[in-house]
Structure 1
């Protein structure tokens, strides 16, 4: 009989990180597969999960050195190499590893003989949807961005007809219609705003309309579809950028709330809103920059601060999903369980990756960095 795989769930150490990579629900499911699960003490505290809840689900609680003897280590953000001391040779490190931003840490995993699996590199294919951490977390980010903007906005979102007069509906504009943008549209609509949206990918027009929002698109600029590999946006041509800037400038001046969501994997976030455009907006308007941690879509945005420019409030958390730790942890931990479960080999008593997904997410193996995107 195969020896049970040892899974370690780490307490997150990054500043402001409130999520955890397993919940009692997924601990039960992992132990049902035949794994043994060790959870570092207080790992779930910020997500409102007590150590006793993990213990009741079948986990062992480790006061320190949770990775000791682990075959698989779960994290939300990539753990520093010292936290992984004692992990078994070739152990998997399964987390959001920020391969481009933390190349030094990836090199450390390789030198330590660990197999680093970057969950944010999960291919956007049908069978991997339930494992996609970017989508699950972006969904919550789009929702929370609208709520934070609504809280900072000094007026109501819906139109209200009262005996004292009518309150006009707020106008909200969503820039970038990926998972976060679609949820932002839906949330702003539920709150009663008049919503419009734009994207460089022309295929999103129908998605915008299906949510009851108005699509705002550059017309008559040929050959710019903006569709990159795996459904991600690509960089735009200079012609498209110019046409979009002109369109946005005329539209943004009429908006009360703007949510920007544009990201390009491995690159700095594209600049969507300039200081000059901010100056055209009405005083009291709010912009939420979901890309602030990667350089920002909005000129002058600062991570984790509310900045006021020309009477407009600009805000963006560097880790928006961490503002919803319980739900973000629940979804993230299910992504990790779905990943292991999909590749669980009953005879081997452990997960065995196939080539398609293994090659897509594996950064290090056999003491080397093996991912093609990390080789110039």
Structure 2
């Protein structure tokens, strides 16, 4: 079976879907691997490394010729996949609910391709090693703290010097999923005083285990446990009002706020209002990791660092790509684990089961088949 690895063409995308390490392991399964020239250059993986691992190197038409599996980070346009085998898999993150996502999915269906959206991987125990959202969110949480530190005009740890004492920075993390937990851990390692909040009460112990202070609404029911797929769901209007009041009092005392809340398939929930930004002291920093889905912070702008009321609001796009080498290495291992888990030696290719196949498959046999796309009442 021929596997093609493409150069990413989306603006600002520096990651790559395979590394020399994963190429060697794919070859060991019995596949052949062809890598588009300079596919890994932006992530510090050169063509010589891929060639040494056993991959073929060529231009896009050569790489795609006869390919049965195409690996990407972001889903490529179907128009650029001429030459692949009939019914070839396209394995990437597809963002089917984002701008242009449905049109791209329809293009795969029209081309007779089987599109597999890795971000729809169910959050079940046996799929943890294939979970691209977790691997990339972990790096996003880490990078968010570094981006905050770069914008913040003061030190993070408390410093006692002969000239006086420098107070520790106060960091507030909103949303305690994978990204939030890593943000807490990173801010703590840098010496900040860290607090965090989430709508899921189960995260209280996780926050405390990392040495941070949990900030939770008391007396109003939130969400007792994780929702479908391991994500938080919607809360009641009463809880939302109580949380807004609690956050307003807390955020005014913070130097740095990092927001990470996402609801897949929907606009990001608004966590920080313009009025709340106005209560923060001049020179504070807010990092909005949800900016590409509408933003958790009022006034955040995708791809920009803007200043509002003396507060710097950071809205970098595609944060994992800002750590392209590590992000690529983790993402490539997710794809390797996925293909390896379903590899059928007799068939010489991976064969999906119903549980995971039905969850991530968007198109097959010329049609859109994923229930979340075909049933308008269903969301991720």
Q: Same fold (TM over 0.5)?
A: yes
**1:81 has 2:78 as partner:** yes
The residue matched to 2:143 in structure 1 has which SS?
Answer: helix
Gaps of 5+ in 2: none
- Give the distance between the partners of 1:231 and 1:337, measured in 2 at CA: 23
| 1:223 CA drift (Å) | 5.5
| 1:225 CA drift (Å) | 3.3
Alignment correspondent of 2:60 = 64
Distance 1:226 1:293, change over 3 A: farther
Alignment correspondent of 2:367 = 368
Alignment correspondent of 1:8 = 4
Cα RMSD after superposing both structures: 0.8
Please say if residues 222 and 235 of structure 2, whose CA atoms lie closer than 8 Å, have aligned partners that are also in contact: no
**1:99 has 2:99 as partner:** no
| 1:82 CA drift (Å) | 1.7
Q: Deviations over 1:70-124 (max 9, x none)?
A: 1000000010112211111110000001111200000010111100000000000
Aligned length: 372
Gaps of 5+ in 1: none
- 1:30 aligns with one of 26, 32, 35: 26
State the TM-score, normalized to the length of structure 2: 0.97
Distance 1:89 1:270, change over 3 A: same
Alignment correspondent of 2:210 = 211
Q: Deviations over 1:45-92 (max 9, x none)?
A: 100111111011000011231222110000000101122111111100
Alignment correspondent of 1:147 = 146
Please say if residues 261 and 290 of structure 2, whose CA atoms lie closer than 8 Å, have aligned partners that are also in contact: yes
Please say if residues 223 and 232 of structure 2, whose CA atoms lie closer than 8 Å, have aligned partners that are also in contact: no
Q: Once structures 1 and 2 are overlaid, which stretch shifts more, 218-227 or 126-135?
A: 218-227
Please say if residues 259 and 289 of structure 2, whose CA atoms lie closer than 8 Å, have aligned partners that are also in contact: yes
The residue matched to 1:99 in structure 2 has which SS?
Answer: coil
Alignment correspondent of 2:180 = 181
Alignment correspondent of 1:128 = 127
State the TM-score, normalized to the length of structure 1: 0.98
Please list, as runs of the form range in 1=range in 2, the aligned pairs for 1:212-361 lying within 5 A after superposition.
Answer: 212-222=211-221, 224-225=223-224, 227-361=226-360
| 1:226 CA drift (Å) | 6.6
User: Which aligned segments of 4 or more residues in structure 1 are displaced greater than 2 angstroms?
Assistant: 222-227
